[in-house]
Amino acid sequence: MAIDNPLGHRTEYVSHYSPELLFAIPRTVAREQLGLQQDLPFRGEDRWTAYEVSWLDSKGKPQVRLAEFILPSDSPNIIESKSFKLYLNSLNQTSFDDDRKVKSLLSVDLSAAAGAPVTVNILPLHYAKSCLVDEPIGSYLDDIDIEVSHYQPTPELLQVSATQQANEVVYSHLLKTNCPVTDQPDWATVFIEYAGAAIKHESLLAYIISFREHQDYHENSVERLFCDIQKYCQPERLTVYARYTRRGGLDINPLRSSYPAGQSLLESNVLRTIRQ
């Protein structure tokens, strides 16, 4: 957008509506490093949850809500998370007649920043009963006893069985990446669903752990995971879904999939994890 990336800079918290705070980052920069062209090998979305959304009603009374935002993975831009938080905070002392006005405004501004339509849902707090922490689906990888020596993405660790086929979901709580600007740690639970030659679980866990010192945004890290697994394991179908721990009142949950729409278990099971 029209301002410099706010990450790594002293911040003034604006409490009146300021859409210019939103900072867009082109997806092409990271995708070129992965060798991705215009025809992407996946579809998907970035699912954001905001837990600190507030404004004033027409009588000056504060309102609080949860909000969900869905950015399509084929949008030209991602939205930098600190700028997203600053933008949401700019609503704090701004008056709106009702939730619909807030939803409409958010949709217009975020779609302009992303360069594609962004779905917005404004949710009352009693909605929380339907978004409680749930048990992850799939096989748990983290109890596998392995020796680890790689802490930068090392896809060469990935191995598949020469004889066994699988159609499974596996998950790990050990995905950690780092902000490319501030180097702050970003923690996530990552789910992988695939069909094809069975991926050796110990190799997959070692590969996931190898992201531990990797610097990149959440969305780009998930796309690297997808592309590496696709290249080295060659599954017939693949979904990678990461649920990142909330920071600054926002969690970011990118999903990338080659499954036809409606056929991925992960796409139909939007799980809020224990660290969110």
CATH tag, 19-130: 3.30.1130.10
3 pLDDT more than 60: no
Place of tokens 């789910």: 191
pLDDT at 2: 39
Q: If you ran DSSP here, which 8-state letter would residue 81 be given?
A: H
Active site residues: 179, 186
pTM of the model: 0.93
CATH 3.30.1130.10 domain position(s) in the chain: 19-130, 139-268
Q: pLDDT tens, 215-261? A: 999 999 999 999 999 999 999 999 999 999 998 899 999 999 999 99
Burial code of 90-118, b = ≥16 C-beta within 10 A, e = fewer?
Answer: bbbeebbeebeebbebbeebbbebbbeeb
- Crossing angle (nearest 10°) for helices 218-233 and 201-209: 150
Question: Which of the residue ranges 40-54, 60-74, 117-131, 229-243 would you say has the lowest mean pLDDT?
Answer: 117-131
The whole-number pLDDT of residue 233 equals 98
| Sign of the four-CA dihedral 136, 120, 175, 194 | positive
Which carries the bigger pLDDT value, residue 271 or residue 251? 251
pLDDT digits (tens, 9 = 90+) for 7-21: 555 667 888 999 999
CB 221 within 8 A of CB 28: no
Q: Token digits for 253?
A: 């949950």
10 or 66, which is more confident: 66
Question: Whole-angstrom Cα distance, residue 160 to residue 235?
Answer: 10
| Rounded alpha-carbon distances, angstroms, from residue 261 to 37, 109, 224, 266 | 22, 27, 21, 11
- CATH class for domain 139-268? alpha beta
